[in-house]
Amino acid sequence: MRIARALFVSSFVASLALAASCVGTTGSGLVTFRATASGPSDFDAKQTFASGLGYAVTLTRAKLHVGAVYLNRSVPTSGAQATSCTLPGIYVAEVLDGLDVDVLDPTPQAFPVNGDGTADHASAGEVWLTGGDVTADDDATVILDLAGTASKGGATFPFEGKITIGKNRAVAPADPSQPGSNPMCKQRIVTPIPIDVVPKSGGELRLEIDPRAWFDNVDFARLDKASDTPLLYRFNDAAIEQPDTNLFRALRSASAETYRFRWLP
């Protein structure tokens, strides 16, 4: 009987201990955070900068449509990224609603919705330049709307451009045995953008977009002239001519010179 009573007591104590210990976590956490985008803090409208080809460029309008932002656990390997735009299981955070970012404005512009994610380390970011389904064959959304003037050697090239990413950017597969090697989504996703952050609830993810590097290899002299009076050159929104091709290539470059993520607690 004494043993029985002892066992009863021990079970009771064990139950209390276990009830108290029924706490803990599965690790990580779900987080919600504010998301903003801006132009670079050291640059604003009408500031002239020099391009890689020696042009002095002044932007009067530069708006980039960001369809969505994602953060990844790891930097995708070349092999994995070669085949797929989205890889299940690697995403840490997302900001889903689009925003037209005035990249000439250094003040933060809030995305329409908060970002969601998990409290896991992110080491790469993605900027989706799309107005709809990232895998759609075509998309008429103006992704980049820009205007400005480029000067070189006494010549001046007032320019404007509206860049879309649709069929005009389709890339035929080089290898006929791999027809799926260049899906449209790959033309719309800028990745991997370096980042080193663990998202936390209440923080802010800031995407800083610097437009200067877009024009590094653009030869403005080869732009198509749109009109003489007033003089105006125009990007033709097709991957044919050097200026348009190089602008689009720079737009999609995940270089830290162009796209920078910052985490603000």
- Give residues in contact with another protein (CB under 8 A): 1, 3-4, 7-8, 10-12, 14-15, 18-19, 21-22, 24-30, 67-68, 70, 82-89, 91-94, 96-98, 116-119, 128, 130, 132-136, 175-181, 183-185
- When the beta carbons of 29 and 108 are compared against another protein, the nearer one is 29
Residue 140 beta carbon to another protein: minimum distance, rounded to whole angstroms: 16
In this structure, what is the dihedral angle of CA atoms 142, 108, 243, 193, given to the nearest 10 degrees? -100
CB of 47 to another protein, least distance (A): 32
Nearer to another protein by C-beta: 26 or 229?
26
**Cα–Cα dist 251/193, whole Å:** 13
Q: Give the nearer residue to another protein in terms of CB position, either 8 or 227.
A: 8
Least distance to another protein, CB of residue 7, Å: 4
Nearer to another protein, 41 or 83 (CB): 83
In the bound state with another protein, the residue whose beta carbon lies nearer, of 41 and 135, is 135
C-beta closer to another protein: residue 136 or 256: 136
Q: Is 177 left (phi over 0), alpha (psi -120 to 50) or beta?
A: alpha
At its nearest, how many Å lie between another protein and the CB of residue 215? 28
Min separation Cβ 173 and another protein, Å: 8
Least distance in angstroms from the C-beta of 130 to another protein = 8
Which residues fall within 8 angstroms of residue 233, CB to CB, at 6 or more apart? Answer: 157, 158, 159, 160, 220, 223, 224, 225, 226
In the complex, least distance from residue 203 CB atom to another protein, rounded to whole angstroms = 15
Under 8 Å between Cβ of 70 and 93:
yes
| Residue 94 or 145 with smaller CB distance to another protein | 94
119 or 197: CB nearest another protein: 119
Q: How far is the CB of 159 from another protein (least distance, A)?
A: 31
